[in-house]
Amino acid sequence: MDITIWKNRLLHLPLGDIYLYPEVSSTNLVAEEKIKAGAPPFSLVVADSQTEGRGRLGRSWITRAGKALALSWILYPEPGRLQPETLGMLSGLAPVAVAEVLRENYALPAEIKWPNDVLVYGKKAAGVLVDVRWNGCDVTDVVLGIGVNVARDSVPPSEDLNFPAISLDEAAGKEISRLDLLVQIMESLLKWYSRLVEPSFIQSWDSMLAFKGQQVKLTTERGMRGQGKVAGISDDGSLILISEAGNETEYHAGEIQLRLVDRS
């Protein structure tokens, strides 16, 4: 990453501070440090590589130097947008922004595996980690972490994965510029953040939802949470499943993992 070139390409966007690094532990951790040091809203942390990239529940996210995008965006509560009751929507913000960019700019069949992954051809091309900090019942700040597999060799070996992964270069059959992609993702994030509480946001999320009409199971660390046919996304960002008996249940993101049910 040429830090001057990358910074110049981001300067036209209404972001806060822009921090670019060759290597960090985790961009989400650096973002938390920046928040403590008083970073303004919409500040952005990007790194060429991460030594301790994180997924949910302490799982690790692998970012090979110069092969992928690893970024974290800093948000503070805003009336009508970022409040405890809109946090469910927030988990969809980055998947919607990334999936839309992949569809519109690269003609890739991107889908959102609820709650936090972007799939292309059914494989994980991007993952999102939302870290929320609270003071009592109030949200004090949010770090939206996004990892995207761009170059072919960005994908970790399959034995390190709990879900099949793909790079964008492999999916598109051509090289995709990480910098172009970063600028497009930030533009899309800004657009959708301003529409987070509008019906068009849920409609968009719903329209890109993976496994619609298919049987899936939801699990947590403690075991099975639910099973049913994927019906869609509810008004607050929950996943709606329909049971065999035809009953609808809504699930909030939490620490849920989603898998297709193998009926073969």
For ligand BTN, the binding residues (CB under 6 A) are 26-28, 50, 53-55, 61, 63, 70-72, 116-117, 127-129, 145-147
Structure tokens at 16: 């806060």
Other CB atoms closer than 10 Å to residue 186's CB: what's the count? 24
Residues 6+ apart with CB under 8 A from 207: none
Cα distance between residue 102 and residue 184, in whole Å: 9
DSSP state at residue 86 = G
Question: Which of ligand ATP, ligand BTN, none does residue 257 bind (CB under 5 to 8 Å by kind)?
Answer: ligand ATP
Question: Which of ligand BTN, ligand ATP, none does residue 161 bind (CB under 5 to 8 Å by kind)?
Answer: ligand ATP
By beta-carbon proximity to ligand ATP, the closer residue of 9 and 259 is 259
Structure tokens at 22: 């060759």
DSSP per residue, 1-56: --HHHHHHHHTTS--S-EEEEEEES-HHHHHHHHHHTTPPTT-EEEEEEESS-B-G
Q: Smallest gap, in angstroms, from Cβ of residue 143 to ligand ATP?
A: 14
124 near ligand ATP, rule: CB under 6 A = yes
Question: Which of ligand BTN, ligand ATP, none does residue 27 bind (CB under 5 to 8 Å by kind)?
Answer: ligand BTN
56 near ligand ATP, rule: CB under 6 A = yes
67 near ligand ATP, rule: CB under 6 A = no
Residues 6+ apart with CB under 8 A from 107: 172
91 near ligand ATP, rule: CB under 6 A = no
156 near ligand ATP, rule: CB under 6 A = yes
21 near ligand ATP, rule: CB under 6 A = no
Residue 38: name the closest of 137, 135, 140, 146 by CA: 140
Question: Which of ligand BTN, ligand ATP, none does residue 162 bind (CB under 5 to 8 Å by kind)?
Answer: ligand ATP
- Distance between terminal CA atoms of the chain? 46
How many Cα neighbours within 13 Å face the side chain of 157? 2
Q: Smallest gap, in angstroms, from Cβ of residue 22 to ligand BTN?
A: 15
Q: Smallest gap, in angstroms, from Cβ of residue 244 to ligand BTN?
A: 29
By beta-carbon proximity to ligand BTN, the closer residue of 69 and 196 is 69
- Measured at CB, which residue is nearest to ligand BTN? 127
121 near ligand ATP, rule: CB under 6 A = no
Would you say 211 and 113 are in contact if contact means Cβ atoms under 8 Å apart?
A: yes
Binding residues vs ligand ATP (CB under 6 A): 55-56, 59, 61-62, 116-117, 124, 127, 149, 155-156, 161-163, 165, 257
